[in-house]
Chains A and B, each alone.
Chain A
Amino acid sequence: DTGVSQNPRHKITKRGQNVTFRCDPISEHNRLYWYRQTLGQGPEFLTYFQNEAQLEKSRLLSDRFSAERPKGSFSTLEIQRTEQGDSAMYLCASSLVLAGTTDTQYFGPGTRLTVL
C-alpha cells in the first residue's frame, strides 16, 4: 500500500502561467477528492470524482480550474492563468464508498503552489 501520492510537492510559478498537478489515489479507491488549504485554515472542498465521473464542483472552483480523472485512476488538476490568490496547498484524498456508506478519506502530502 503506497498511499496517496501527489506531484509535484512544490510548484513556484509566475502570475498568468498555467500549472498542472497530479494525484495518484490508493488503487482500490473509487472516490477521489481535491481540496485547497490556505495558511491558518482547514482544507476546503473543491471537487470530487466517482471513478472517472466528476460529480460535484465547489463554488471555489472557478472556470480557470479544471480537473480530470481519465479511466478512473490518477487525477490532474490544472489551473490556467494563475493568480496570486491561487497560492495554497492543494490536497488530494481518496476513499472507498460502497452502497452509499462513507469511509475514511486518506490524504496525500499535497502540492504547495506559490504564484509570484
Chain B
Amino acid sequence: SQQGEEDPQALSIQEGENATMNCSYKTSINNLQWYRQNSGRGLVHLILIRSNEREKHSGRLRVTLDTSKKSSSLLITASRAADTASYFCATDADSGAGSYQLTFGKGTKLSVIP
C-alpha cells in the first residue's frame, strides 16, 4: 500500500518559475525523503529530512516537514527545463520488522516549459 500522496499529480510551469509539490502521509515516520525520476529511469535522491527537522535546503531545493499535519512540501526555485521529471516523496518508518522500508506516493509529474 502507498502511504504518501503527492499533490498535485501533474504540474506544468514556465522556466524560471518556482514549483511547489506537497506530500501527505498517514503514520509516524523516522524521516521523509524526496526523489526525482526521469522518464523510465532510476530514482535520484534529492533530500532527506528527519522527523525532528522542520526545514532543509539543498541548492535550489527547499523541503519543509510538518509532523503534526503529516505533510511535507518540496519547493524548486528558478526551475529549469532539466527539472522536468516525476517527483516522489517516500516515508521511512519501521514496519515492525526493522526494515525501514520506504513507502512511496504516486508522484508529481513536473513539466518545465522552456
Contact = CB atoms under 8 A, between A and B. Distances in A.
Contact of A112 (B30, B40, B100): B40
B2 A42 contact: yes
Interface string B1-22: 0101000000000000000000
Given A102-B31, A104-B33, A107-B45, A45 B102 contact: yes
B98 to A, nearest CB: 7
Contacts of B48: 103-104
B45 A106 contact: yes
A41 interface: yes
A111 B43 CA distance: 12
B114 interface: no
Contacts of B41: 109-110
Contacts of B40: 89, 112
A91 to B, nearest CB: 7
A43 B45 contact: no
B25 interface: no
A45 B30 CA distance: 17
Which label, helix, strand, loop or mixed, suits the secondary structure of the A interface?
strand
Contacts of B107: 42
Interface in A3-45: 6, 31, 33, 35, 40-45
B87 to A, nearest CB: 10
Given A42-B2, A42-B107, A107-B35, A102 B43 contact: no
Contacts of B90: 42, 105
B42 A108 contact: yes
Interface of A: 6, 31, 33, 35, 40-45, 48, 50, 55-56, 89, 91, 93, 95, 97, 100, 102-110, 112
* 10 interchain residue pairs of minimum CB distance: A42-B104, A109-B42, A45-B101, A107-B43, A56-B97, A102-B100, A56-B99, A110-B42, A107-B42, A48-B99
6 contacts: A42-B2, A43-B43, A45-B102, A55-B98, A91-B42, A104-B33
